[in-house]
Amino acid sequence: MLSLVRTHAFQSGRRPLSPGSRAGLGAALVLLAIVSAVELADGRPAHYIALMVAAPFLAAALASWRVVLGVGAVATAIGSTFALTEPNTSLVTAVNVAGIALATGIAAAVAAVRQRQAERIAELSKLAAVAQQAVLRPLGPQVGTLMVAGRYISSSTTAEIGGDLYEAIDTPYGVRIIIGDVRGKGLDAVRLASIVLGSYRHVAYERADLRAVVADLDRAVARNVGDEDFVTAALVEERGGTLTIVNCGHPPPLLLRRGAVIPLEPPAPAPPLGFMPVVRPRVERLEPGDRLLLFTDGLGEARRDGEFFPTADRAWRLLGHGTVGDGLASLETALVEWVHGRLDDDIALVLMEYAGPVSDATAPVPSWEVGAAEG
Protein backbone atom coordinates (compact mmCIF):
# COMPACT_ATOMS: atom_id res chain seq x y z
CA MET A 1 0.00 0.00 0.00
CA LEU A 2 2.83 2.39 0.88
CA SER A 3 4.47 1.75 -2.48
CA LEU A 4 1.18 2.55 -4.25
CA VAL A 5 0.92 5.86 -2.38
CA ARG A 6 4.49 6.79 -3.34
CA THR A 7 3.88 5.81 -6.94
CA HIS A 8 0.70 7.88 -7.06
CA ALA A 9 2.47 10.90 -5.59
CA PHE A 10 5.28 10.57 -8.11
CA GLN A 11 2.92 10.19 -11.04
CA SER A 12 0.86 13.19 -9.97
CA GLY A 13 3.96 15.38 -10.32
CA ARG A 14 4.24 16.28 -6.64
CA ARG A 15 7.69 16.94 -5.36
CA PRO A 16 8.78 16.88 -1.72
CA LEU A 17 9.05 20.24 0.01
CA SER A 18 12.44 21.88 0.04
CA PRO A 19 14.17 22.44 3.39
CA GLY A 20 13.31 26.15 3.16
CA SER A 21 9.64 25.45 2.51
CA ARG A 22 9.52 22.98 5.41
CA ALA A 23 11.13 25.53 7.73
CA GLY A 24 8.76 28.31 6.63
CA LEU A 25 5.74 26.06 6.92
CA GLY A 26 6.77 24.84 10.36
CA ALA A 27 7.38 28.34 11.70
CA ALA A 28 4.04 29.60 10.36
CA LEU A 29 2.11 26.67 11.82
CA VAL A 30 3.77 27.17 15.20
CA LEU A 31 2.72 30.82 15.13
CA LEU A 32 -0.88 29.88 14.24
CA ALA A 33 -0.95 27.32 17.03
CA ILE A 34 0.31 29.84 19.58
CA VAL A 35 -2.18 32.53 18.54
CA SER A 36 -5.02 29.99 18.53
CA ALA A 37 -4.09 28.77 22.02
CA VAL A 38 -3.97 32.33 23.35
CA GLU A 39 -7.31 33.11 21.71
CA LEU A 40 -8.95 30.03 23.21
CA ALA A 41 -7.57 30.81 26.65
CA ASP A 42 -8.79 34.39 26.45
CA GLY A 43 -12.34 33.46 25.52
CA ARG A 44 -14.83 35.60 23.62
CA PRO A 45 -14.75 37.95 21.82
CA ALA A 46 -11.77 37.34 19.49
CA HIS A 47 -8.94 39.74 20.35
CA TYR A 48 -5.80 38.25 18.82
CA ILE A 49 -6.70 36.86 15.40
CA ALA A 50 -5.08 39.92 13.77
CA LEU A 51 -1.72 38.39 14.77
CA MET A 52 -2.35 35.61 12.26
CA VAL A 53 -1.54 38.12 9.50
CA ALA A 54 2.12 37.44 10.32
CA ALA A 55 1.85 33.73 9.46
CA PRO A 56 1.83 34.00 5.64
CA PHE A 57 4.60 36.62 5.72
CA LEU A 58 6.66 34.37 7.98
CA ALA A 59 6.21 31.54 5.49
CA ALA A 60 7.03 33.86 2.56
CA ALA A 61 10.52 34.45 3.95
CA LEU A 62 11.51 30.83 3.27
CA ALA A 63 8.77 28.86 1.55
CA SER A 64 7.36 28.79 -1.98
CA TRP A 65 4.29 30.78 -2.92
CA ARG A 66 2.17 27.62 -2.95
CA VAL A 67 3.06 26.92 0.67
CA VAL A 68 2.33 30.56 1.52
CA LEU A 69 -1.15 30.24 0.00
CA GLY A 70 -1.74 27.10 2.03
CA VAL A 71 -0.65 28.79 5.24
CA GLY A 72 -2.83 31.80 4.41
CA ALA A 73 -5.83 29.59 3.75
CA VAL A 74 -5.37 27.87 7.11
CA ALA A 75 -4.93 31.21 8.90
CA THR A 76 -8.04 32.63 7.21
CA ALA A 77 -10.03 29.52 8.11
CA ILE A 78 -8.96 29.70 11.76
CA GLY A 79 -9.71 33.41 11.92
CA SER A 80 -13.12 32.87 10.35
CA THR A 81 -13.88 30.10 12.85
CA PHE A 82 -13.13 32.40 15.78
CA ALA A 83 -15.19 35.16 14.18
CA LEU A 84 -18.20 32.91 13.63
CA THR A 85 -18.15 31.70 17.23
CA GLU A 86 -18.88 35.22 18.42
CA PRO A 87 -22.58 35.86 19.18
CA ASN A 88 -22.41 39.06 17.16
CA THR A 89 -19.41 39.34 14.90
CA SER A 90 -17.93 42.80 15.30
CA LEU A 91 -16.70 44.94 12.43
CA VAL A 92 -13.16 44.82 13.82
CA THR A 93 -13.16 41.01 13.79
CA ALA A 94 -14.48 40.93 10.22
CA VAL A 95 -11.81 43.40 9.13
CA ASN A 96 -9.14 41.27 10.82
CA VAL A 97 -10.26 38.18 8.90
CA ALA A 98 -10.29 40.12 5.63
CA GLY A 99 -6.84 41.42 6.50
CA ILE A 100 -5.54 37.85 6.85
CA ALA A 101 -6.86 37.01 3.37
CA LEU A 102 -5.34 40.17 1.89
CA ALA A 103 -2.02 39.54 3.63
CA THR A 104 -2.01 36.03 2.16
CA GLY A 105 -2.20 37.38 -1.37
CA ILE A 106 0.55 39.93 -0.76
CA ALA A 107 2.79 37.36 0.94
CA ALA A 108 2.27 34.89 -1.91
CA ALA A 109 3.33 37.56 -4.43
CA VAL A 110 6.43 38.36 -2.35
CA ALA A 111 7.30 34.67 -2.13
CA ALA A 112 6.90 34.27 -5.90
CA VAL A 113 9.28 37.19 -6.58
CA ARG A 114 11.79 35.89 -4.03
CA GLN A 115 11.62 32.41 -5.51
CA ARG A 116 12.25 33.70 -9.05
CA GLN A 117 15.22 35.71 -7.84
CA ALA A 118 16.62 32.72 -5.97
CA GLU A 119 16.26 30.54 -9.06
CA ARG A 120 17.98 33.18 -11.17
CA ILE A 121 20.87 33.45 -8.71
CA ALA A 122 21.21 29.66 -8.65
CA GLU A 123 21.26 29.57 -12.44
CA LEU A 124 23.88 32.30 -12.60
CA SER A 125 26.00 30.41 -10.06
CA LYS A 126 25.78 27.29 -12.22
CA LEU A 127 26.78 29.28 -15.30
CA ALA A 128 29.69 30.79 -13.38
CA ALA A 129 30.86 27.32 -12.36
CA VAL A 130 30.59 26.11 -15.97
CA ALA A 131 32.56 29.15 -17.16
CA GLN A 132 35.23 28.51 -14.56
CA GLN A 133 35.51 24.85 -15.59
CA ALA A 134 35.76 25.87 -19.23
CA VAL A 135 38.63 28.22 -18.41
CA LEU A 136 40.39 25.89 -15.96
CA ARG A 137 40.46 22.38 -17.34
CA PRO A 138 41.22 19.58 -14.88
CA LEU A 139 44.92 18.77 -14.58
CA GLY A 140 46.66 15.43 -14.40
CA PRO A 141 47.04 13.08 -12.85
CA GLN A 142 49.95 12.78 -15.30
CA VAL A 143 51.21 15.20 -17.92
CA GLY A 144 54.12 13.84 -19.89
CA THR A 145 56.52 12.39 -17.36
CA LEU A 146 55.26 14.52 -14.46
CA MET A 147 52.59 13.86 -11.88
CA VAL A 148 50.50 17.05 -11.76
CA ALA A 149 47.50 18.24 -9.75
CA GLY A 150 45.70 21.60 -9.75
CA ARG A 151 43.29 23.16 -7.29
CA TYR A 152 41.23 26.34 -7.29
CA ILE A 153 40.08 27.75 -3.93
CA SER A 154 37.44 30.46 -4.21
CA SER A 155 37.26 33.23 -1.63
CA SER A 156 33.49 33.43 -2.13
CA THR A 157 30.97 30.89 -0.94
CA THR A 158 28.44 32.05 -3.53
CA ALA A 159 30.58 31.79 -6.66
CA GLU A 160 33.58 29.88 -7.86
CA ILE A 161 34.76 32.33 -10.45
CA GLY A 162 37.77 34.60 -10.62
CA GLY A 163 40.90 35.57 -12.49
CA ASP A 164 43.39 32.96 -11.28
CA LEU A 165 44.53 30.56 -14.00
CA TYR A 166 46.69 27.52 -14.58
CA GLU A 167 47.42 24.98 -17.28
CA ALA A 168 49.84 22.08 -17.85
CA ILE A 169 50.44 20.66 -21.32
CA ASP A 170 52.86 18.20 -22.89
CA THR A 171 54.54 19.95 -25.83
CA PRO A 172 57.37 19.04 -28.23
CA TYR A 173 59.60 21.14 -25.97
CA GLY A 174 58.71 19.31 -22.76
CA VAL A 175 55.99 19.67 -20.16
CA ARG A 176 55.04 23.31 -19.81
CA ILE A 177 53.03 24.75 -16.94
CA ILE A 178 51.66 28.24 -16.45
CA ILE A 179 50.09 29.80 -13.39
CA GLY A 180 48.79 33.35 -13.35
CA ASP A 181 46.65 35.90 -11.60
CA VAL A 182 44.57 38.53 -13.38
CA ARG A 183 44.18 41.87 -11.65
CA GLY A 184 40.54 42.18 -10.60
CA LYS A 185 37.65 39.77 -10.18
CA GLY A 186 34.40 38.75 -11.79
CA LEU A 187 33.55 38.21 -15.42
CA ASP A 188 36.13 40.70 -16.74
CA ALA A 189 38.87 38.81 -14.94
CA VAL A 190 37.58 35.49 -16.26
CA ARG A 191 37.48 36.92 -19.78
CA LEU A 192 41.13 38.01 -19.58
CA ALA A 193 42.13 34.70 -17.99
CA SER A 194 40.49 32.85 -20.88
CA ILE A 195 42.40 35.03 -23.37
CA VAL A 196 45.71 34.28 -21.65
CA LEU A 197 45.03 30.55 -21.48
CA GLY A 198 43.80 30.43 -25.08
CA SER A 199 46.96 32.15 -26.28
CA TYR A 200 49.15 29.98 -24.08
CA ARG A 201 47.60 26.74 -25.32
CA HIS A 202 48.55 27.81 -28.82
CA VAL A 203 51.99 29.39 -28.46
CA ALA A 204 53.29 26.79 -25.97
CA TYR A 205 53.32 24.32 -28.86
CA GLU A 206 54.82 26.78 -31.32
CA ARG A 207 57.65 28.56 -29.49
CA ALA A 208 60.83 26.76 -28.57
CA ASP A 209 61.94 29.40 -26.05
CA LEU A 210 59.88 30.32 -23.00
CA ARG A 211 60.91 33.95 -23.50
CA ALA A 212 59.13 33.93 -26.85
CA VAL A 213 56.05 32.45 -25.16
CA VAL A 214 56.12 35.32 -22.65
CA ALA A 215 56.41 37.88 -25.47
CA ASP A 216 53.38 36.42 -27.25
CA LEU A 217 51.32 36.33 -24.06
CA ASP A 218 52.31 39.91 -23.26
CA ARG A 219 51.01 41.09 -26.63
CA ALA A 220 47.77 39.17 -26.13
CA VAL A 221 47.25 40.81 -22.74
CA ALA A 222 48.18 44.29 -23.97
CA ARG A 223 45.59 44.08 -26.76
CA ASN A 224 42.77 43.27 -24.33
CA VAL A 225 43.30 45.30 -21.16
CA GLY A 226 43.32 48.88 -19.97
CA ASP A 227 46.34 50.88 -18.87
CA GLU A 228 46.15 49.64 -15.27
CA ASP A 229 45.29 46.00 -15.93
CA PHE A 230 47.86 43.23 -15.96
CA VAL A 231 48.45 39.54 -15.37
CA THR A 232 51.19 38.14 -13.14
CA ALA A 233 52.43 34.76 -14.33
CA ALA A 234 55.08 32.11 -13.84
CA LEU A 235 55.93 29.67 -16.62
CA VAL A 236 57.69 26.37 -15.99
CA GLU A 237 59.21 23.91 -18.42
CA GLU A 238 60.50 20.44 -17.54
CA ARG A 239 62.57 18.67 -20.18
CA GLY A 240 64.95 15.83 -19.66
CA GLY A 241 65.07 16.44 -15.90
CA THR A 242 65.96 20.11 -16.33
CA LEU A 243 63.59 22.73 -14.99
CA THR A 244 63.32 26.20 -16.50
CA ILE A 245 61.29 28.96 -14.86
CA VAL A 246 60.46 32.44 -16.11
CA ASN A 247 58.64 34.80 -13.80
CA CYS A 248 56.54 37.87 -14.65
CA GLY A 249 55.84 39.56 -11.35
CA HIS A 250 54.48 36.37 -9.80
CA PRO A 251 55.25 34.69 -6.44
CA PRO A 252 58.22 32.36 -6.92
CA PRO A 253 57.50 28.61 -6.99
CA LEU A 254 58.62 26.47 -4.07
CA LEU A 255 60.88 23.48 -4.70
CA LEU A 256 60.41 20.66 -2.18
CA ARG A 257 63.49 18.47 -1.99
CA ARG A 258 64.44 15.96 0.71
CA GLY A 259 62.53 17.80 3.44
CA ALA A 260 63.75 21.27 2.42
CA VAL A 261 61.66 24.03 0.86
CA ILE A 262 63.54 26.24 -1.61
CA PRO A 263 61.94 29.39 -3.10
CA LEU A 264 62.99 29.62 -6.76
CA GLU A 265 63.45 33.36 -7.03
CA PRO A 266 64.06 34.72 -10.56
CA PRO A 267 67.57 35.94 -11.45
CA ALA A 268 66.11 39.40 -12.06
CA PRO A 269 62.65 40.85 -11.42
CA ALA A 270 60.30 41.36 -14.35
CA PRO A 271 56.95 43.17 -14.56
CA PRO A 272 53.65 41.37 -15.19
CA LEU A 273 52.22 40.53 -18.59
CA GLY A 274 50.87 43.67 -20.20
CA PHE A 275 53.94 45.72 -19.20
CA MET A 276 56.39 44.25 -21.73
CA PRO A 277 58.37 42.03 -19.33
CA VAL A 278 61.92 41.07 -20.20
CA VAL A 279 62.51 37.81 -18.35
CA ARG A 280 65.64 35.90 -17.45
CA PRO A 281 65.19 32.13 -17.04
CA ARG A 282 66.16 30.30 -13.89
CA VAL A 283 67.43 26.78 -14.52
CA GLU A 284 67.45 23.94 -12.00
CA ARG A 285 68.40 20.28 -12.34
CA LEU A 286 65.66 18.10 -10.86
CA GLU A 287 66.18 15.06 -8.67
CA PRO A 288 63.81 12.08 -8.49
CA GLY A 289 61.10 12.81 -5.92
CA ASP A 290 61.33 16.58 -6.24
CA ARG A 291 58.04 18.43 -6.01
CA LEU A 292 57.29 21.94 -7.18
CA LEU A 293 54.45 24.11 -5.84
CA LEU A 294 53.14 26.96 -7.97
CA PHE A 295 50.59 29.29 -6.40
CA THR A 296 48.93 32.67 -6.74
CA ASP A 297 49.35 35.49 -4.25
CA GLY A 298 46.11 34.62 -2.45
CA LEU A 299 48.13 31.95 -0.63
CA GLY A 300 50.83 34.41 0.43
CA GLU A 301 48.22 36.93 1.59
CA ALA A 302 46.11 34.49 3.64
CA ARG A 303 46.31 35.56 7.26
CA ARG A 304 44.72 35.19 10.67
CA ASP A 305 44.81 38.03 13.20
CA GLY A 306 47.48 39.73 11.10
CA GLU A 307 49.67 36.61 10.94
CA PHE A 308 50.30 35.19 7.47
CA PHE A 309 49.91 31.51 6.71
CA PRO A 310 53.41 29.94 7.11
CA THR A 311 53.55 28.40 3.65
CA ALA A 312 57.28 27.79 3.49
CA ASP A 313 57.46 26.40 7.04
CA ARG A 314 54.61 23.92 6.54
CA ALA A 315 54.97 23.14 2.84
CA TRP A 316 56.97 19.94 3.17
CA ARG A 317 54.83 18.55 5.97
CA LEU A 318 51.65 19.23 4.00
CA LEU A 319 52.77 18.55 0.44
CA GLY A 320 55.43 15.90 0.79
CA HIS A 321 53.17 12.89 1.35
CA GLY A 322 50.86 10.75 -0.77
CA THR A 323 50.04 11.80 -4.31
CA VAL A 324 50.26 15.36 -5.52
CA GLY A 325 46.47 15.53 -5.25
CA ASP A 326 46.68 14.41 -1.61
CA GLY A 327 49.24 17.12 -0.94
CA LEU A 328 47.06 19.91 -2.34
CA ALA A 329 44.06 18.62 -0.37
CA SER A 330 46.11 18.77 2.84
CA LEU A 331 47.31 22.27 2.03
CA GLU A 332 43.78 23.50 1.38
CA THR A 333 42.50 21.98 4.62
CA ALA A 334 45.28 23.56 6.66
CA LEU A 335 44.83 26.91 4.93
CA VAL A 336 41.06 27.08 5.44
CA GLU A 337 41.50 26.08 9.08
CA TRP A 338 44.15 28.77 9.53
CA VAL A 339 41.94 31.60 8.22
CA HIS A 340 38.79 30.19 9.86
CA GLY A 341 37.18 29.79 6.45
CA ARG A 342 37.60 33.46 5.44
CA LEU A 343 39.82 34.10 2.45
CA ASP A 344 40.40 37.58 1.04
CA ASP A 345 41.39 36.39 -2.42
CA ASP A 346 41.03 33.38 -4.69
CA ILE A 347 43.91 30.92 -4.77
CA ALA A 348 45.16 28.72 -7.59
CA LEU A 349 47.55 25.88 -6.75
CA VAL A 350 49.55 23.51 -8.95
CA LEU A 351 51.77 20.77 -7.55
CA MET A 352 54.03 18.66 -9.77
CA GLU A 353 56.34 15.76 -8.99
CA TYR A 354 59.37 14.61 -10.95
CA ALA A 355 59.74 10.83 -10.76
CA GLY A 356 63.07 10.55 -12.51
CA PRO A 357 64.65 10.46 -15.97
CA VAL A 358 62.86 8.70 -18.79
CA SER A 359 64.38 5.53 -20.18
CA ASP A 360 64.57 7.00 -23.69
CA ALA A 361 68.23 7.49 -24.51
CA THR A 362 67.47 10.37 -26.87
CA ALA A 363 66.26 12.86 -24.31
CA PRO A 364 64.99 16.08 -25.89
CA VAL A 365 67.08 19.22 -25.79
CA PRO A 366 65.80 21.90 -23.39
CA SER A 367 64.28 24.93 -25.10
CA TRP A 368 67.00 27.37 -24.05
CA GLU A 369 69.58 25.11 -25.74
CA VAL A 370 67.70 24.63 -29.00
CA GLY A 371 69.48 27.47 -30.75
CA ALA A 372 72.88 26.29 -29.60
CA ALA A 373 72.12 22.72 -30.65
CA GLU A 374 71.01 23.86 -34.10
CA GLY A 375 74.20 25.89 -34.49
Lowest mean pLDDT among 7-11, 16-20, 22-26: 7-11
Cis peptide before 45 (omega within 30 of 0): yes
CB atoms within 10 A of CB 251: 22
pLDDT digits (tens, 9 = 90+) for 257-280: 999 999 999 999 999 999 999 999
- Kindly state the average pLDDT of the residues 173-180: 96
Quickly list H helices, 164-257.
186-206, 210-222
In this prediction, residue 4 carries a pLDDT of 39
Lowest mean pLDDT among 80-84, 104-108, 168-172, 370-374: 370-374
In this prediction, residue 212 carries a pLDDT of 96
In this prediction, residue 208 carries a pLDDT of 94
In this prediction, residue 159 carries a pLDDT of 56
With contact defined as beta carbons under 8 Å apart, do 183 and 273 qualify?
A: no
Greatest alpha-carbon span in the chain: 111
State which of 12-26, 181-195, 230-244, 300-314 shows the largest mean pLDDT: 230-244
Mean pLDDT of the chain, nearest integer: 85
In this prediction, residue 207 carries a pLDDT of 95
Instruction: Specify the DSSP class assigned to residue 356.
Output: -
In this prediction, residue 167 carries a pLDDT of 95
- One-letter amino acid for residue 221 of the chain: V
With contact defined as beta carbons under 8 Å apart, do 115 and 65 qualify?
A: yes
d(CA 225, CA 227): 7
* pLDDT interval class at 216 (50, 70, 90): very high
Q: Which residues does residue 254 pair with via DSSP β-bridges, in sequence order?
A: 263, 293
- Kindly state the average pLDDT of the residues 125-154: 83
In the chain, what percentage of residues exceed pLDDT 90?
Answer: 51
303: CB partners within 8 A, 6+ apart? 309, 339
Is 341 a residue whose pLDDT tops 90? no
In this prediction, residue 10 carries a pLDDT of 38
d(CA 349, CA 150): 6
Cis peptide before 138 (omega within 30 of 0): no
- Kindly state the average pLDDT of the residues 302-306: 86
Residue 283 CA to its chain's centroid (Å): 34
Of 201, 309, 211, the C-alpha closest to 251 is 309
Between 6 and 250, name the one with better pLDDT. 250
Consecutive H or E run containing 263: strand 260-263
In this prediction, residue 368 carries a pLDDT of 54
In this prediction, residue 81 carries a pLDDT of 87
Instruction: Specify the DSSP class assigned to residue 164.
Output: E
* pLDDT interval class at 124 (50, 70, 90): confident
- Kindly state the average pLDDT of the residues 299-322: 91
Lowest mean pLDDT among 6-15, 23-32, 208-217: 6-15
In this prediction, residue 161 carries a pLDDT of 63
